[in-house]
Chain A
Amino acid sequence: MAAGNLELLLNLGHFVVCGEISPPQSADKAAVLKKCAYFKDTVDAVNFTDNQTAVVRMSSVMASVFALECGLEPIMQMTCRDRNRLAQQSDLLGAAAAGIKNVLCLTGDYMSFGNHPDAKGDFDLDSVQLIHAVSELNQGRFLSGDVLKSPMKLFIGGAANPFAEPFDLRIIRLGKKIAAGAQFIQTQPVFDVPRFEKWISAVRDEGYDQQVHILAGVMPVRSVRALIHLRDEVPGSLVPDEYILRMDAVKDDKEKSAEVGLALAVEIVDQLKRIPGIKGIHFMPVMWESITPRLVEQCGLLPRPKPVIASESSEEAV
């Protein structure tokens, strides 16, 4: 089986760039394709969120399939909130069959954050166990131990939050994810770079940066309101006051505010690029996908390496 673009580039030592798309809250395929256009040729792969913040959206599996249609490499996100281990494994089989190469395993936001706070959560597995389940599938086994009829391969990702408490336990948990089979890690959006440096140096001390590809998250925001919302309402994120003050100074002018937001993101990326152990950047322009081409360009990350044609690398197929 051929490896995906993301896996190949990471293994070749490129500094990769990922994007992120939340599928629409409707059955509108055109909306997905429109967002995909912003990411085409500006990033190497794009995350498709799975009912992010517990708000019902188009399924990440289907949105990822639409991305494949327009030649974009998807990273399908999968949470443990909405499916039990049966549905998860069956969706993974379907995704692999459709040609999806990457999966990001998450526990998922709790239902009370979304638009169906009255729903029953599943949480049959947790994210570490889900990573383990995908890695078992890659090795030809279901969680039950039954054997797959034919092999499949997915590049397995996990998430890490360098900013939430308890700090030491998070490093331990990252180690658990790696032991369970995670091959790349995407972090929460970084605003507080010194704190991130503290985390990554703890990760380097354990040698985890050698065992897994770590991609740092960066979220461009276009208004001070979004930034304050992040700080106050989104658990597990740290936003330095300096950024809030800078955004606050231009809050009345929409365009200026967007420019400052863009500049902040570029600044953060410049600092991140210099930190050893980071293998790429994961942009999360939530509700601001149109900024991606400019953002990636200003960060000096264009042009992206050409996608490796699948047929060339399929020689290694089993």
Chain B
Amino acid sequence: MSKLSEAIANICEKRQWLYKPILLMESGAKKLIFRCQDCGQCVLSQNAFTCCMRCPKQIRNGPCGGTRPNGRCEVYPNRACIWWLIHRRAKRLGVVHKLKKYHIPADRRLQYTSAWMNMFAGRILPLQLGKKPKEVTLTKKDPPPLR
């Protein structure tokens, strides 16, 4: 992102006593609201604020071919398909075009790390709040030193 945010991430990621509370806070809040699965590379802002990692197959470019006619998941007939939910909410928010973006394979090293810090450090794409998706080149590839 910026020099400043990278510096902040750098400071936090090297100190367990700082990193752990941030992670707990982030993950706790996102668990309550979005049922976050701690993938560490948040795509909430691109997927109409619905977490796609809740999908049993964790598809980041969904949906799979099995969504039932009533919008239920093929695996759990009593649950909605996450991607059906994403699409419905994207329609309401008017951001369906954002779903056209291809998501690269998840970096499994980032599981259980703080997506906020990863964003500050420039490891993952920043929040996509506007109508237009931002294109940013990522500066860092390595996972945070503390996990």
Q: How far is the CB of B68 from chain A (nearest CB, A)?
A: 5
Asked whether, in the complex, the Cβ of B61 is within 8 Å of the Cβ of A123, the reply is no
Q: Please, which residues of chain A bring their CB within 8 A of the CB of B94?
A: none
Number of interface residues of B (CB under 8 A): 33
Measured CB to CB, the closest approach of chain A to B112, in angstroms, equals: 17
Assuming the contacts A165-B68, A166-B67, A179-B102, asked whether A128 and B61 have C-beta atoms less than 8 A apart, the reply is: yes
* Distance in angstroms between the alpha carbons of A124 and B74 in the assembled complex: 19
A-chain residues with CB within 8 Å of residue B57 when the two chains form the complex: 80-81, 107-108, 110, 121, 123, 126
A143 at the B interface (CB under 8 A): yes
Is A164 touching B105 in the complex (CB atoms < 8 A)?
no
Whether B62 is near chain A, meaning CB under 8 Å from some CB there, is yes
Contact of A159 with B by CB under 8 A = yes
B99: chain A residues at CB < 8 Å are 169, 172
Is chain B's interface secondary structure helix, strand, loop, or mixed overall?
Answer: loop
Q: Which 6 pairs from chain A and chain B are nearest by CB?
A: A235-B74, A128-B61, A161-B65, A235-B66, A166-B87, A126-B59
Bound CA span A169–B63, Å: 8
How far does the alpha carbon of A85 sit from the alpha carbon of B56 in the complex, in Å?
18
B63 contact set on A, CB distance < 8 A: 164, 166, 169-170, 173
A129 near B66: Cβ-Cβ < 8 Å? no
Pair B66/A236 contact, Cβ less than 8 Å? yes
* A-side contacts of B64, CB under 8 Å: 107, 126-127
Nearest-neighbor residue (CB-CB) of B75 within chain A: A110
Contacts of A164 in B (CB 8 A): 63, 65-69
Nearest CB on A from B74, distance (A): 4
Seen from chain B, the residues whose Cβ lies within 8 Å of a Cβ on chain A are 56-71, 74-75, 81, 83-84, 86-88, 96, 99-100, 102-106, 108
Contact, CB under 8 Å: B68 / A235:
yes
Q: Are B69's CB and A165's CB within 8 A?
A: yes
What separation, in Å, do the CA atoms of A94 and B87 have in the docked complex? Answer: 38
For the complex, count residues of A whose C-beta is within 8 A of B.
38
What 0/1 pattern do residues 173 to 212 of A give for CB contact below 8 A with B? Answer: 1011001100000001000000000000000000000000
Tell me the minimal C-beta distance from A310 to chain B in angstroms.
Answer: 33
Quote the shortest CB–CB distance from B36 to chain A (angstroms). Answer: 18
Residues of A within 8 A of B83 (CB): 166, 169
Min Cβ gap A176→B in Å is 5
A128-B61, A166-B87, A169-B87 known; A110 vs B67 contact (CB < 8 Å):
no
The residues of A with any CB-CB pair to B shorter than 8 Å are 80-81, 85, 107-110, 112, 121, 123-129, 132-133, 143, 159-161, 164-166, 168-170, 172-173, 175-176, 179-180, 188, 235-236, 238
Nearest residue (CB) in B for A188 is B65
Alpha-carbon distance A235/B57, docked complex (angstroms): 15
Please report the C-alpha to C-alpha distance between residue A81 and residue B105 in the assembled complex, in whole angstroms: 14
Please give, as numbers and ranges, the residues of chain A lying within 8 Å of B100 by CB-CB distance. Answer: 172, 175-176
Quick check: A107 and B65 within 8 Å, CB to CB? yes
A123 to B56, CA, bound (A): 9
| A236 and B65 contacting across the interface, CB-CB below 8 Å | yes
Give the CA-CA distance A85 to B104 in the complex, in Å: 12
- Are A166's CB and B68's CB within 8 A? no
Question: What is the CA–CA distance of A238 and B105 in the complex, to the nearest angstrom?
Answer: 32
B52 — nearest CB in chain A belongs to which residue?
A: A126
Select from chain A the residue with minimum beta-carbon distance to B99.
Answer: A172
* Bound: A19/B57 CA distance, A: 28
Chain A residues lying within 8 Å of B105, measured Cβ to Cβ, are 85, 124-125, 129, 133, 143
Task: Give chain B nearest CB distance to A229 CB in angstroms.
Answer: 15
- A129-B105, A169-B86 given; 12 more Cβ-contact pairs under 8 Å: A109-B66, A121-B56, A123-B57, A124-B105, A125-B105, A127-B61, A129-B104, A133-B105, A159-B65, A166-B71, A166-B83, A236-B66
Known: A123-B59, A176-B102. A168 touches B67 (CB 8 A): no
Report B-chain residues with C-beta under 8 Å of the C-beta of A235: 66-68, 74
Q: How far is the CA of A109 from the CA of B74 in the complex (A)?
A: 9
Residues of B within 8 A of A180 (CB): 102
Alpha-carbon distance between A210 and B102 when the two chains are bound, in angstroms: 21
